[in-house]
Structure 1
Amino acid sequence: MTETVRDNQPETDTETGEAHGTPPWPGTAVPSALLPLPRSWSLRPGPPFRLDADSEIDAGPGTEDTARWLSATVGAATGLPLPVRDGSAPGVRLRLDARTERSLGPEGYLLESGPAGVTLTGGGPAGLFWAAQTLRQLLGPAAYRRAPVRRDAVWTVPPVVIEDAPRFRWRGLMLDVARHFLPKDGVLRYLDLMAAHKMNTLHLHLTDDQGWRVQIRRYPRLTEVGGWRPRSRVGLTSSPLWDERPHGGYYTQDDVREIVAYAADRHITVVPEIDMPAHSQAAIAAHPELGVGDVVDTAAVEVWTEWGLSPNVLAPSDTVLRFYEHVLEEILELFPGPYVHIGGDECPMGQWRASPSVQARRTALGLPDEVALQHWLNRHFAEWLAERGRRPAAWDEIMDRRSPASGAGAQAAAWADTGAAFGAVSGAVRADVRPDARPSAESDLPPATTVLSWRGTAGGVAAVRAGHTAVMCPEEHLYLDHRQAAEGEPVPIGYVRTLADVYRFEPVPAGLTEEEAGRVAGAQGNAWSEALETPQRLDYQVFPRLAALAEVTWSDLPAPAERDVAEFEARMAGHRARLDALGVDHRRPGGPLPWQRRPGVPGRPMA
């Protein structure tokens, strides 16, 4: 007698022997199967719905894209045909509904299942797509595979009503593709992983000292020269180890169009970042006229092979303004989303202070110091973007003003500590970065400016009090390249931040008014890639902590001290089975597996 296999039962990890997965039906509460946690749910009496070869997808007006995604993705995993039709056969019914939009918003949805089928109702196309993601979770881990693993599998959906909507509108991940290039297929894969977690914003850090990763037709040398470096340090700056292979790559404009379209199909906005005026050595190597040529021989500058922070920065000249306007013109053509990120972080002031031409420019502009000069440059591009209907985004330094009374206080000490960890050269440069500047709630930036707060939350607080939007990504909480345990981590970097630590992060700082809190758009995890040289290293650092951030930004959780970490980790046991099915080389609860270790490669741990 053949035993019936139910494919939404726990799986066993063949590498570790761990049992993964909690069956969503029968006998357990539905939330044990779902992540992020939905707003509300209730189990109905009666048997589950069985998805089988006779099941169809009934696509109402405006639902065709989600119908095609369901048919292709779930159909591949189950081996079921799942045809998209306008009919009454048992199956999955897709609808958009204005009442759902009014009550739950465009990203909200209602999922109703019973023995006759499943109905997904979205407040908008995005909400319907997130409902489809929930349905996929209810089908079990094997629904995340690309082909069926058991031909005798039985696919069921528990009889349930789920009402759901996100807490925040920015649920993001930043991929640093400049330090270590992530080829196009890797970006597409991460878009699928984000969609599986209901995350909707991919921030691509496209340019830095170590590489320029997007084709600009007007300036081909940006990728011909700036897209490649001769070698890379293995580990952080104190490491004596080198990879002598040239490293590089870039996205052609058609690659970008493909990425943006693939993201849009998954209701994900792609935010491009062109960093300036610091983190620009790759651009200066390609175009020496962009650098501070009266204090450094910019013709001798090469794409940087070190990590940390280069002293070479853009000159605040008309040449630079016109050059980057031309770059941004092409960026606007490639990225139709509302946000364009202009960097603005970690600008060393040494070359500007030493340059007669820069000082003459500062004096002519009537600016008191170099901090004001950088603000002038970043504000120029913020206004340029706003005039073209885009929302400028920048790191929180865009809110900085010099504080005469602050001297070289806490921030300077923090920079010195960080710089020392990076190495002597970078340490000296970092000590020259804004030692006496602080975020200010007084702003002359375009109102639509979005500030990404990475140096703690102070920059975000200043931004929302000035009337801007803030996205929280503080280094000490949401830098995903940072280590996940005190000992035994591969290339240990930064602070220890565990899965539980990320789950306890609260994006809205204490002390904000209700109006100010409403300007906190959400949060994002930042995956800086100095030590993430392979997709496997990226997976290990990002997952499973991105799953915790997904719930933090989607679900209406209690205060951090009241969050039930044990309950979340119990659901994570089932979610790890999904990650396994997706081929994610995530960190296991017991630490790195043998192939995930990097013995002998030094990192940069911080207390």
Structure 2
Amino acid sequence: MDQTAAAKRTVIGLLAALMLAGCGDSPKSPSRASALVSVIPAPSKIEQRAGEFVLDDETRLEFGDGVEGERLGGYLIDLVQRTHGGGLNAGAGEVGNNPGAKAIRFELSADGSGGERYSLVSSPERVVISAGDSRGLFYGAVTLWQLMSKRDGGLVLPVVTIEDSPRFSWRGLMLDSARHYQPPEFIRKFIDVMALHKFNVLHWHLTDDQAWRLEIKKYPRLTEVGAWRVPAGAAPAADIDPGTGKPRLYGGFYSQEEVREIVAYAKDRNITIVPEIDMPGHASAAIAAYPQLAVIDRPSTQVPADWGVYPNLFNVEESTFQFLQDVLAEVIALFPSEYIHVGGDEAVKDQWKASARVQARMRELGLKDEHEMQSYFIKRMETFLSSQGRRLIGWDEILEGGLPPKATVMSWRGIDGAVAAATAGHDTVLSPQPTLYFDRRPVDLPTLPGRASVVTTEEVYAFDPVPAALNEEQRKHILGVQANIWVEHIRTLERVELMTFPRAAALAEVAWSPVKDWASFSARLPAQLERYRALDVRYAEALPPRSLDPFRRSSHELALCSDKIRLSLEDDAPVTGDRAVFLVDILDPCWVFKDADLSKVQSLVAAVGQVPFNFQIGDAVKQIPLPPPATAAGELEVRIGDCKGERIAVLPLAPAVGNHAVTTLPPAQITPREGKHDLCFTFTRKSIDPTWVIDSIALQTTTAAATE
């Protein structure tokens, strides 16, 4: 080995700091045997032999010719410091001072093989990580870190031979920053954790109806107006900003300088950021900032706060196409990614259908319907992006009306979009709901908002991203897989992590590893959870099963009467601090207390909340029942047997009207009855907004009443 530091760009590291006091096994650490091989995602090939590499104060950290030693070494040093409490003291000594010492060496392969492939070979004396380029060396460093296990206050590595490369080239997570803004430091943390799973694409959702988050220099009102809204509900409406005398605005945006820093940060971790700029739908925030972009004559100039699908589309004037090209030109300057995502989903065509000007434009262009108009719209954007050396990607609705020739399809409405795209010769990414939609809760945790249905880590792991309907040639068009973290109901940063991990670990293995083995993954997962704890990453764990209290149920313990749009829905109050979370079907707010023993029940106590009905669901809103109230405020009605049974109690809502948070209503007297009965709870009301919801129901027995 050439001993000159300049020729070899070698960094000498004394690893004594890894032999740290207090670094012994944690009570929650996996067993030593499992920790040695607990790598996620599982390598393509791993062979373990007897023996181990023990890091000591003579161990050297080396980098060969062409290796970016400063960057890679700094990353590994920092990672070990953060997870093991100490680090690699790089730069202590000269090469050759102790040529017999142990070494961890990173080197570029002599065969020049590129891509993300790497090998890791360890013996009791030496660890060598080799790859064709920096990406492979980075992933080798991540695997090296995962192989480290604690023993006797220090670290050891198993003796292994690993040959590893990814199954798919697109291994992604989508983070929605439009519905709720996450600060740059959180984005960087999220990127850090992605890199440790060998993800390589962050699809960053930056615009939608509820906000425009990206600074565009040519159109400053996009963030001056479009990045801010008043959240839905009575509590935010009453939260008056003393500086303006108006309800306090909620939001934020990313400056171009912040974006450049985040993009560079991601690049250092082998992650490409693919920005999404929605069009032609999900355009309300942009239209609020620049009303001339609208189809209708008098659009709202306020950014809306409802979730769901708005009818607002961009118009199809040449000036609007120029606006979007100007925006994309600045996006391209910020994001060096090959792909630019243009959305294309959920573009309700009602405004286009009703607009004489749009209809005239369609006739001018020879387009037979609104689907062809959308296809023309997307093709215009694809032509522009191609002229800039970029590729367009969009949700699977871009298939409708004809696909641009070089477009890539992200299939979210099941796998059919991917099958159609690949069959037609287009590249595709599998991202289907519900399995890869991480707004579905990972566990049935009552304090966790989101779509009420549960998609478990095991269900994510079982997903097969290669549809059986495709032949071998068509399967080559599958770029990979991606999970989407939509955050309408994920307001806090902690919850973003809870909804993402450890399900992301399961997806990482699906995306990377050629063979899946749930039993093996499950055995390796505890070590991954230990890494999350070391990195202060929240993750979801299922609660142990517990018996229901026969006399008290939270809304999550009650049964819903229907399964239409079931949400674990967070209250809008208080504006700051913890909020209640309610289980509710917003199309049918109705709950059942199953098998209530009424033999000794004397009264019933209900805790209720009121949440804004901020959902754009089209004609489905007409399905919502509105039982007529007997009083102005309405009532909570209790019926026995089923929801058409005898009414046995009525609780007036008047005491709760002025309270934005949870209110415990005065008890309602109940006549005891023998046996167990179902109790149905519904609200009378004049309108759908607000939606009254149950927080909890308590049945008070004669004994309990006597002690109060």
Q: TM-score under structure 2 normalisation?
A: 0.70
Identical aligned pairs, as a percentage?
A: 41
Map of 2:603 onto structure 1: none
Is 1:192 matched with 2:187?
Answer: no
Given that 2:447 and 2:581 are in contact with CA atoms closer than 8 Å, whether structure 1 keeps it comes out as: no
Deviation at 1:383, TM superposition (A): 1.6
Q: Deviations over 1:21-67 (max 9, x none)?
A: 242xxx45843x11111111112333x22223333321112322322
Map of 2:361 onto structure 1: 361
Given that 1:53 and 1:82 are in contact with CA atoms closer than 8 Å, whether structure 2 keeps it comes out as: no
Which 10-residue stretch deviates more, 323-332 or 92-101?
92-101
Given that 1:175 and 1:527 are in contact with CA atoms closer than 8 Å, whether structure 2 keeps it comes out as: yes
Q: Deviations over 1:401-459 (max 9, x none)?
A: 4xxxxxxxxxxxxxxxxxxxxxxxxxxxxxxxxxxxxxxxxx55132x22110000111
Which structure carries more strand by proportion?
Answer: 2
Residue of 565, 575, 585 corresponding to 2:518: 565
SS at match of 1:476: coil
Separation of aligned partners in 1, 2:45 and 2:35 = 12
Map of 2:529 onto structure 1: 576
Deviation at 1:484, TM superposition (A): 2.3
Separation of aligned partners in 1, 2:507 and 2:493 = 20
Which structure carries more helix by proportion?
Answer: 1
- Which structure's relative contact order is higher, taking Cα pairs within 8 Å and 6+ residues apart? 1
Residue of 479, 486, 506 corresponding to 1:528: 486
Deviation at 1:494, TM superposition (A): 5.5
Map of 2:600 onto structure 1: none
Separation of aligned partners in 2, 1:81 and 1:478 = 38
Residue of 40, 43, 55 corresponding to 1:38: 43
The amino acid across from 2:116 in the alignment is E
Map of 1:308 onto structure 2: 308
1:475-490 equivalences under 5 Å are 475-485=433-443, 488=446, 490=448
Distance 1:108 1:482, change over 3 A: same
Residue of 265, 269, 276 corresponding to 2:268: 265
Is 1:589 matched with 2:509?
Answer: no
Distance 1:215 1:603, change over 3 A: farther
Deviation at 1:321, TM superposition (A): 0.1
Residue of 51, 59, 62 corresponding to 1:58: 62
Map of 1:422 onto structure 2: none
Separation of aligned partners in 2, 1:461 and 1:494 = 29
Which 10-residue stretch deviates more, 302-311 or 174-183?
302-311
Q: TM-score under structure 1 normalisation?
A: 0.81
Given that 1:75 and 1:82 are in contact with CA atoms closer than 8 Å, whether structure 2 keeps it comes out as: no
Structure 1: gaps (5+ residues)? 13-18, 143-149, 402-442, 559-563
Separation of aligned partners in 2, 1:592 and 1:532 = 25
Separation of aligned partners in 2, 1:597 and 1:495 = 23
Map of 2:428 onto structure 1: 470
Separation of aligned partners in 1, 2:320 and 2:148 = 54
Which 10-residue stretch deviates more, 173-182 or 505-514?
505-514
The amino acid across from 1:70 in the alignment is L
1:432-447 equivalences under 5 Å are 444-447=403-406
Deviation at 1:601, TM superposition (A): 3.6
The amino acid across from 2:405 in the alignment is P
SS at match of 1:118: strand
Residue of 535, 539, 551 corresponding to 2:497: 539
Given that 1:168 and 1:521 are in contact with CA atoms closer than 8 Å, whether structure 2 keeps it comes out as: yes
For the pair shown, which has the larger CA radius of gyration, 1 or 2?
2
Distance 1:601 1:234, change over 3 A: farther
Q: Deviations over 1:83-138 (max 9, x none)?
A: 2576655231001114372xxx5101111112212111113211110010001111
Q: Deviations over 1:550-580 (max 9, x none)?
A: 000000125xxxxx32332221122111111
Size of the alignment, in residue pairs?
Answer: 527
1:63-462 equivalences under 5 Å are 63-64=67-68, 65-75=71-81, 77-83=84-90, 88=99, 89-99=101-111, 101=113, 105-140=114-149, 153-232=153-232, 245-294=248-297, 297-298=298-299, 300-401=300-401, 444-447=403-406, 449-462=407-420
Distance 1:492 1:215, change over 3 A: closer
SS at match of 2:50: coil
Distance 1:6 1:135, change over 3 A: farther
Distance 1:123 1:280, change over 3 A: same
SS at match of 2:449: coil
Deviation at 1:591, TM superposition (A): 6.9
Separation of aligned partners in 1, 2:183 and 2:443 = 29
Given that 1:490 and 1:597 are in contact with CA atoms closer than 8 Å, whether structure 2 keeps it comes out as: no
